Chain A
Amino acid sequence: DQQVKQNSPSLSVQEGRISILNCDYTNSMFDYFLWYKKYPAEGPTFLISISSIKDKNEDGRFTVFLNKSAKHLSLHIVPSQPGDSAVYFCAASRMNRDDKIIFGKGTRLHILP
Chain B
Amino acid sequence: GVTQSPTHLIKTRGQQVTLRCSSQSGHNTVSWYQQALGQGPQFIFQYYRKEENGRGNFPPRFSGLQFPNDSSELNVNALELDDSALYLCASSLWGFYGYTFGSGTRLTVV
Contacts and interface: CB of A to CB of B under 8 A. Distances in A.
Which label, helix, strand, loop or mixed, suits the secondary structure of the B interface?
loop
Nearest to B53: A98
A89 B106 CA distance: 19
Q: How large is the interface on B (under 10, 10 to 19, 20 to 34, 35 or more residues)?
A: 20 to 34
A100 B43 contact: yes
A102 B97 contact: no
Contacts of B102: 43
B40 interface: yes
Contacts of A44: 41, 88, 101
Contacts of B46: 100
Interface of A: 4, 6, 32, 34, 36, 41-46, 49, 89, 91, 93, 97-106
Interface of B: 2, 31, 33, 38-43, 46, 53-54, 56, 88, 90, 94-95, 97-104
